[in-house]
Amino acid sequence: MTLAHYRKGQTDAEGAEGEVHLEPGGHAHPSAAEYLKIGAILVVVTSIEVALYYVGMSETALVAVMMPLSWLKFILVVLWFMHLRFDNPFFRQLFFAGLALAIVVFTVAMATLGGKLV
């Protein structure tokens, strides 16, 4: 990715009074109503997680269901509340590179030292 790419849209950041601040290459942030919708989804997903805890599923099934739900919440917060969906792509690449490295270190440590989720 070139320097010009990151600078693309830089003039958008120099908005008039009342306009939303944008990073170069970014897009407008969501409305308050959209944030509330995301919040409601997070509450529902967390409620499902807690309910599943009491269902008494097998350990393997619990991991198989809980992990995607947790990942969904994680992604919703990162993409919408932290604006990675709308901000400059460089921030997204930076954060997910760190996250990917953390997941690799986590996986290697668990595999090497005999760790398990359940």
Partner 1 sequence: METSTGLDNRKLMMWLFLASDCLFFGSLIAAYLLYRDRSLVGPYPGDLFDIPFTSVSAFVLLMSSVTMVLALSCIQRGDRRGMQVWLFTTAVLGLLFIAGQAYEFTEFNHEGLSLSTNLFGTTFFVLTGFHGAHVTLGIVVLLSLFVASLQGRIQQKDSLNVELAGLYWHFVDIVWIVIFTLIYLIQP
Residues that bind partner 1 (CB under 8 A): 3, 6-7, 10, 17-18, 20-21, 23-24, 29, 31-32, 35-36, 38-39, 42-43, 46, 49-50, 52-53, 59, 62-63, 66-67, 69-70, 73-74, 77-78, 80-83, 88, 90-91, 94-95, 97-99, 101-103, 105-106, 109-110, 113-118
Task: Compute the least distance from the CB of residue 6 to partner 1, in Å.
Answer: 4
Tokens read off for 26: 């970014």
> Which residues, other chains included, contact 52 with Cβ-Cβ below 8 Å and sequence gap of 6+?
62, 65, 66, 69
Q: Which is nearer to partner 1, 27 or 42 (CB)?
A: 42
Torsion of Cα atoms, 35 then 98 then 68 then 44, to 10°: -20
Contact at 8 Å (CB) between 109 and 74?
Answer: no
